[in-house]
Amino acid sequence: MIEPLRISFEVACPPDHAFETWTERASAWWPPQHTMSHQPGAEIVFEPRPGGRIFERTPQGEEFEWGEIVRWDPPRGLSYRWHIATDPANATEVEIVFREMPGSTTRIEIEHGGWDRLGEIGQAWRDANRAGWDGVLPPYAEAARS
């Protein structure tokens, strides 16, 4: 079994703002180099419901599917099937929990798993996604503070 990625960190804002920044303001902080198009100005959309799409829309209107919302529970958390840069049949599972902490801070706990379904490429895909999280979480944390 390939262990899920588990990441946790705190941001200096309450959970509702942390959740909103993740889901409604992703276009403001998601780095272009971590999108399918690599285009500055791409819109990142989380459709706010189970079954909703996660996708990017370029300034020219081209859309790239990234995933599908499984659980939508603002401001406590969300879960989604994640298939950016791969076939939806190879989707992994992401769960994000926003926990209220003292001093108007939020602890964010991410579990990203489902690597075993990818077979021989599962471990390499897990490692690539670890690098991906390392690239998107610092700009997210900065955006959540503002």
Domains and CATH numbers, the chain: 5-30+69-145 (3.30.530.20)
pTM here? 0.95
32 preceded by a cis bond (ω within 30 of 0): no
Distances (CA, A) of 2 to 5, 62, 121, 126: 9, 34, 11, 8
- Taking only the tens of pLDDT, the chain with its 146 residues reads 999 999 999 999 999 999 999 999 999 999 999 999 999 999 999 999 999 999 999 999 999 999 999 999 999 999 999 999 889 999 999 999 999 999 999 999 999 999 999 999 999 999 999 999 999 999 999 999 98
Q: How many CB atoms neighbour CB 126 within 10 A?
A: 20
> What is the β-pairing status of strands 63-73 and 105-113?
unpaired
In the chain, what is the straight-line distance between the N-terminal and C-terminal CA atoms, in Å? 39
